[in-house]
């Protein structure tokens, strides 16, 4: 329901914007369009009020994780043969990330049973009696128990729970898993300022605003591995405010194709995951390979006037995400881009030009408040042709992510 509201808000806002532009350009229809705008404004106000009410308290239960404190769980050999030994569970520890159990530890006296090969998907199929995930004894590698006979999951929805560490014990042997569905978790809104402009003399932009969305497609992975393919899609939108004296590219006989990146006003892109996996077993650190396409708009200055042109591009991106703690992380990536410029076909300047982009980002957020992150980011963009290498540039930015409902409130 919340995503429907957001889509409705964006759609109505677009219609509202188109009508406003039309009103300015056609004076004869002012009165008619005023009535349309007034009607649309009323709808927008209703949607805005609903979004303002959205907060980090919007929680949806996804399922119940539990174990039986009296159940005698059979023990197997490492070859899967049942033995006469049985255990009673004292405590269970589970670490969740992106809809998977990254690490599970089942405690019984001095014995600790854990997954050793792969993450475990949190869904009804994986926790059915037809699946057997063996958890091996850390104290005796020849002993194992079957997860589905020891810990149980009752799904309430098909959605995956939020990332967390869950501890179950005899005094609290069941817990309801939840997912935050507030508007601020659907859209990641970030605002950056240009540190080079603030601290030096190389103003690439006064500030940038990013809106990001990441949608998972499935929860499958290779058997006994943490590797996945086509796991998610990402959509990114960036709007930049540039120095008014440097916010255009000169449409001379030798256009700087690097400048078409550096002076971008609006950038939109979508990318699909090709492959991702963890960096070592049972870790929150991951690496990925993605393929994407996008475009950006740039102001092109001529002798007498200026106009906006659209620059499409295709790219491959590889990256690493590292977690230092639950509220501190690092992201590193490199991108190989093919840039096209069909609207600058004069002097054969519309062919593809190749670029490399290297970047890194560090973030911090208060515990239990991921929507209030503080960021530091650096990018280096380099053209691979001899003509463009001399135009390579850096972006050093500091910024924060904010609550979308607060922005709308203002």
Long-range CB pairs of 17-22 (<8 Å, 24+ gap) are: none
List 359's β-bridge partners, or say none: 333, 379
Query: For the segment 354-403, what is each residue's pLDDT rounded down to a tens digit?
Result: 999 999 999 887 766 666 778 888 999 999 988 888 889 888 888 877 65
pLDDT at 202: 54
Lowest mean pLDDT among 58-62, 105-109, 282-286, 375-379: 58-62
Q: Which CATH class is domain 182-409?
A: mainly beta
What does each C-alpha distance from 258 to 155, 204, 294, 357, 378 come to in angstroms?
51, 12, 16, 11, 17
Domain ranges within the chain, ordered by starting residue: 1-53, 59-180, 182-409
CA pair distance 73, 70, nearest whole angstrom: 9
pLDDT in tens, 262-311: 888 899 999 999 999 988 888 889 999 999 999 999 988 876 778 888 99
Mean pLDDT of 166-186: 84
Look up the pTM and report it. Answer: 0.74
The number of angstroms, rounded, from the C-alpha of 84 to the middle of its chain's C-alpha atoms is 48
């Amino acid at each position: 329901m919340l995503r429907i509201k957001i889509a409705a808000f964006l759609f109505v806002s677009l219609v509202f914007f188109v009508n406003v532009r039309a009103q300015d350009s056609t004076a004869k229809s002012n009165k008619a369009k005023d009535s349309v705008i007034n009607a649309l404004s009323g709808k927008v106000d209703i949607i805005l009020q609903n979004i303002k009410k959205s907060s980090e308290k919007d929680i949806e239960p996804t399922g119940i994780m539990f174990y039986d404190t009296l159940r005698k769980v059979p023990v197997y050999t490492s070859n899967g043969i049942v033995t006469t030994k049985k255990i009673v569970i004292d405590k269970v520890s589970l670490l969740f990330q992106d809809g998977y159990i990254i690490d599970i530890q089942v405690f019984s006296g001095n014995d600790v049973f854990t997954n050793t090969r792969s993450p475990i998907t949190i869904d009804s199929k994986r926790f059915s009696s037809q699946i057997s995930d063996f958890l091996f004894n850390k104290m005796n590698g020849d002993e194992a128990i079957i997860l589905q006979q020891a810990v149980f999951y009752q799904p309430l929805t098909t959605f995956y729970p939020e990332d967390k560490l869950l501890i179950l014990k005899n005094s609290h042997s069941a817990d309801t898993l939840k997912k935050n569905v507030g508007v601020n978790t659907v859209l990641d809104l970030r605002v950056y300022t240009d540190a080079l402009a603030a601290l030096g003399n190389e103003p690439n932009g006064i500030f940038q605003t990013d809106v990001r969305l990441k949608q998972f497609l499935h929860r499958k992975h290779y058997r006994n591995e943490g590797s996945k393919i086509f796991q998610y899609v990402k959509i990114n939108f960036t709007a930049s405010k540039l120095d008014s004296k440097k916010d255009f590219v000169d449409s001379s006989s030798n256009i700087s194709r690097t400048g078409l990146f550096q002076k971008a006003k609006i950038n939109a892109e979508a990318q699909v995951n090709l492959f991702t996996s963890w960096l070592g077993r049972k870790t929150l650190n991951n690496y990925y390979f993605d393929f994407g396409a996008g475009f950006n708009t740039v102001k092109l200055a001529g002798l007498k006037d200026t106009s906006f042109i659209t620059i499409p591009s295709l790219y491959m991106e590889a990256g690493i995400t590292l977690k230092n703690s639950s509220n501190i992380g690092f992201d590193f990536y490199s991108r190989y881009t093919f840039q096209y410029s069909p609207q600058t076909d004069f002097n054969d300047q519309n062919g593809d030009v190749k670029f490399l982009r290297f970047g890194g980002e560090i973030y911090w957020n208060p515990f239990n408040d991921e929507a209030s992150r503080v960021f530091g980011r650096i990018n280096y963009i380099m053209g691979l042709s001899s003509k463009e290498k001399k135009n390579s540039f850096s972006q050093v930015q500091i910024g924060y992510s904010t609550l979308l409902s607060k922005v709308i409130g203002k």
